[in-house]
């Protein structure tokens, strides 16, 4: 462990607060949750309660390589966030901006296929089966008008 404290630690193009614990700091990276952060800290051989600012640059590099190669690290497939990818058929784990780009590509593919989900996305409607009679309205809402007394 390094004796020098770093206030900002950079892992996978993300600046992390050095005063946070290892698990909390890793969970700030998009695509890494609390559970996955705990598993990564265990695989690297560090306590989840270690402050990330006290880690040596070698340990930080080891954590970064672990996160970049999660699909090849021997973790169970259910822990990855992109299972049976449509293009490749492999189990993958996406991090940071790759998640956003992949979601946009998936939506565009649905629109091009003219699937029901693609249609709902294209017209800005609810996609996942929610009710739309009263919620999700955009523009001017129409309420119930009371009759005039008289």
Condensed to tens digits (0 to 9), the pLDDT of residues 8-35 reads 889 888 899 989 999 999 999 998 999 9
Strand partners, 21: 51
- Is the pLDDT at 69 greater than 70? The verdict is yes
What are the chain's domains? 8-76 (1.10.8.50), 79-122 (no CATH)
Q: Looking up tokens 């952060």, which residue turns up?
A: 37
User: HSE on the CB side for 139, CA within 13 Å?
Assistant: 2
Predicted confidence (pLDDT) per residue in 82-141, tens digit: 888 888 888 888 888 888 999 999 999 999 999 999 999 998 889 898 888 888 777 666
Residue 98, C-beta contacts closer than 8 angstroms, at least 6 positions apart:
31
pTM comes to 0.73
- Tokens standing for residue 133: 């009679």
Task: Report the chain's C-alpha Rg in angstroms.
Answer: 23
Which H or E run contains 118?
helix 116-122
15 DSSP β-pair partners? 10
């Amino acid at each position: 462990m390094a004796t020098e404290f770093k206030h900002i630690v950079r892992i996978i193009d993300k600046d992390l607060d050095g005063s946070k614990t290892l698990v909390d700091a890793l969970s700030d990276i998009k695509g890494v949750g609390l559970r996955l952060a705990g598993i990564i800290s265990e695989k690297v051989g560090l306590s989840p309660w270690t402050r990330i600012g006290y880690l040596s640059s070698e340990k930080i590099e080891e954590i970064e390589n672990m996160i970049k190669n999660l699909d090849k690290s021997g973790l169970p497939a259910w822990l990855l966030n992109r299972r049976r990818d449509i293009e490749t058929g492999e189990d993958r784990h996406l991090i940071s901006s790759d998640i956003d780009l992949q979601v946009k590509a998936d939506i565009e593919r649905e629109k091009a296929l003219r699937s029901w989900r693609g249609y709902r996305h294209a017209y800005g409607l609810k996609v996942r089966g929610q009710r739309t009679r009263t919620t999700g309205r955009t523009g001017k809402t129409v309420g119930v008008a009371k009759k005039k007394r008289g």
